Amino acid sequence: SLPVDAIRSLADQHPKPSHIHFQYGTAGFRTKGEILDSVMFRVGILAGLRSKKLDGKTIGVMVTASHNPEPDNGVKLVDPRGEMLETSWEAHATALANAKNTDEFLAALDTFATTLKIDLSKPAKVVYARDTRPSGPALVAALEDGIAAIGAEGRDAGITTTPVLHYLVRAINTKGTKDEYGEDSEEGYLRKLSAAFKKLVAGKSVIPPLVVDCANGVGAKVANELAEYLGDKLRLIPVNTSTTTPGALNNACGADFVKTQQKLPSLPIELKPGQRACSLDGDADRLIYYYLDDRGQFHMLDGDKIAALSAAFIGELTKAAGLDSKIRVGIVQTAYANGGSTKYLSERLPVKCVPTGVKHLHHAAEKFDVGVYFEANGHGTVLFSPQSQEILSTYQPSTPAQSTALNHLINFAEVINQTVGDALSDMLMVETVLAHKSYSGEEWDSLYVDLPNRLVKVVVADRNVFKTEDAERRLINPPGIQAKIDDLVHRYEGGRAFVRPSGTEDVVRVYAEATVRTQADELAYRVAGLVY
């Protein structure tokens, strides 16, 4: 049965603020850090219960608010394979977080454990980490109270990136099995990635140094460590690494800033023409590249460009290895993918469009033998199915060229963090492809031309009335609006637009693209006018 007394006495120390409704959304619970204490405590208990439900497998908990402002914080659960929490548990998390007081919370827990048939006598293990936000330590303390209250064993992974935490969860749960993912430590992660990368670029000419904007967040710590492991193979220049300067996190820098502002972040050094640089977001699970051309003009290489670069390369490798009939490479995008990228990719490989949010992309990518998924915002990874991993490890190449390609594929699968989007791992993937193709940023950029686009947000009375279909590309409610959007879109050359409710903010988002910049802007504002 539930350790009611232990839970009660600790729960009383973490009362829920009365006026607030919490919701486990696409990125877990996320709001101002100062109101999250009760949520953290309850998530600690929930993580313990999830672990018990899954026979004592280790569950992950990440305390972060990613690219959001410094005063924000958040928490999300990670399932045993290093993936996002199973969707059906999101509602349970929301319900538990909103129980009014300790009595209601205990009653909710009891019903929950009974309905889900959780065997409370099972052991429970939770591994947790946090980013660099000032509200982090107190929130982790509340989380630890929850973990202790349910009698789970906690492991503190300290301050690290979201993708490292995902990696750890998978590594811990596969330890000693044939699917062992890697050593279950941050050093293990760094060793795994850097070793694979070094093999991938062995014999390639010297790679020019890479500026890495760390958003003044936790990525700075891991990027600095990675730089040591990489040494001369790839000289990283981590910048925006001020993790203790108040207000610096994600401020005028980082992947979200670059993507949404479509301009250079503030950097302490000047980029030379053609020099490539990249930005991580506040928890290092998103990556955006860019460079300035000879005229000083800014060029962004976003998640779509990363998908195009890497998917095409993996496709070429499978062909060169003689495996293209056995290993089917596919791409997963969302409605935000630039029309230019979708055209480029669908001429080469199967492309699937799914609703926004990592879990949708991840699950769709699992359906391919090798699934490449990226959101335009720079979050993405590559998944190798168990069958394709098996093929890679048993295949007998018949020529030296096939053998080389096979080895590259094997190392590619190692350099990529397959649990979740990982800025640093994706960066090594990009650098690998650039080195193999001898591409500059400009050559990479010219794979296809981005259509000019505009994203605007509209504050509406109730975003929940906005319902979409066809992977968020069409609006079915409120009635009548989609027909008007269609009407507008037809009037613009290369026009495309869609409206969707945000899953993280109380707004509706409007995206539009067209062949000409001014037209994309105009289309976006006119569509916004329809929903306002």
Binding residues for ligand 16G (CB under 6 A): 26-27, 356-358, 375, 377, 379, 502-505, 509
* Residue 401 DSSP one-character state: H
Q: Which is nearer to ligand 16G, 28 or 80 (CB)?
A: 28
Least distance to ligand 16G from the beta carbon of 357, Å? 4
Least distance to ligand 16G from the beta carbon of 255, Å? 11
Report what 355 binds from ligand 16G, Zn ion, none; CB cut-off 5-8 Å by kind: none
256 binds Zn ion (CB under 5 A): no
Rounded Cα distance between 231 and 117, Å, is 51
- Pick left, alpha or beta for residue 133 (phi over 0 → left; psi -120 to 50 → alpha; otherwise beta): beta
Q: What is 35-84 written as a DSSP string?
A: G-HHHHHHHHHHHHHHHHHTTT-EEEEEE--TTS-TTEEEEEEE-TTSPB
Chain centre distance of CA 197: 21
Q: Tokens 């391919």, residue? A: 368
Least distance to ligand 16G from the beta carbon of 94, Å? 16
Report what 342 binds from Zn ion, ligand 16G, none; CB cut-off 5-8 Å by kind: none
Report what 414 binds from ligand 16G, Zn ion, none; CB cut-off 5-8 Å by kind: none
Least distance to ligand 16G from the beta carbon of 282, Å? 11
Least distance to ligand 16G from the beta carbon of 343, Å? 22
Q: What HEC string does 311-373 produce?
A: HHHHHHHHHHCCCCCCCCEEEEECCCCCHHHHHHHHCCCCEEECCCCHHHHHHHHCCCCEEEE
Is residue 194 annotated as a catalytic residue, yes or no?
Answer: no
Report what 357 binds from ligand 16G, Zn ion, none; CB cut-off 5-8 Å by kind: ligand 16G
Report what 377 binds from Zn ion, ligand 16G, none; CB cut-off 5-8 Å by kind: ligand 16G
Least distance to ligand 16G from the beta carbon of 441, Å? 24
Rounded to 10 degrees, the C-alpha dihedral 405/408/410/413 comes to -130
> Site size for Zn ion, by CB under 5 A?
4
Q: Which is nearer to ligand 16G, 192 or 360 (CB)?
A: 360
Instruction: Point out the catalytic residue in the list 51, 66, 194, 341.
Output: 66
Rounded Cα distance between 351 and 120, Å, is 44
Instruction: Report residue 86: phi and psi, to 5°.
Output: -50, 135
Report what 283 binds from ligand 16G, Zn ion, none; CB cut-off 5-8 Å by kind: Zn ion
Report what 502 binds from Zn ion, ligand 16G, none; CB cut-off 5-8 Å by kind: ligand 16G
Q: Tokens 């050593």, residue? A: 183
Least distance to Zn ion from the beta carbon of 290, Å? 18
> From residue 116 to residue 155, what is the string marking binding to Zn ion with x (rule CB under 5 A)?
----------------------------------------
Q: What is 77-119 written as a DSSP string?
A: EE-TTSPBPPTHHHHHHHHHHT--SHHHHHHHHHHHHHHTT--
> From residue 275 to residue 314, what is the string marking binding to Zn ion with x (rule CB under 5 A)?
------x-x-x-----------------------------
Q: Which is nearer to ligand 16G, 37 or 375 (CB)?
A: 375
Residues recorded for the chain: 532
Q: Which is nearer to Zn ion, 144 or 283 (CB)?
A: 283
Q: Which residues pair with 28 in a beta bridge?
A: 25, 26
Rounded Cα distance between 257 and 10, Å, is 40
Residue nearest to Zn ion (CB): 66
Q: Which is nearer to Zn ion, 145 or 375 (CB)?
A: 375
Rg of the chain, C-alpha, whole Å: 23
Q: Which is nearer to ligand 16G, 28 or 441 (CB)?
A: 28
Least distance to ligand 16G from the beta carbon of 30, Å? 8
Which residue from 31, 38, 58, 66 is in contact with Zn ion, where contact means CB under 5 A? 66
Instruction: Report residue 154: phi and psi, to 5°.
Output: -105, 145
Are the beta carbons of 508 and 460 closer than 8 angstroms? yes
CA dist 392 to 83, 387, 403, Å? 23, 9, 11
Q: Tokens 């009595």, residue? A: 103
Q: Which is nearer to ligand 16G, 322 or 355 (CB)?
A: 355
Q: Is 127 helix (H, G, I), strand (E, B) or coil?
A: strand
Chain centre distance of CA 293: 29
Report what 174 binds from ligand 16G, Zn ion, none; CB cut-off 5-8 Å by kind: none
Q: Which is nearer to ligand 16G, 221 or 362 (CB)?
A: 362
Which active-site residues does the annotation give?
66
Q: Provide the binding-site residues for Zn ion, judged by CB under 5 A.
A: 66, 281, 283, 285
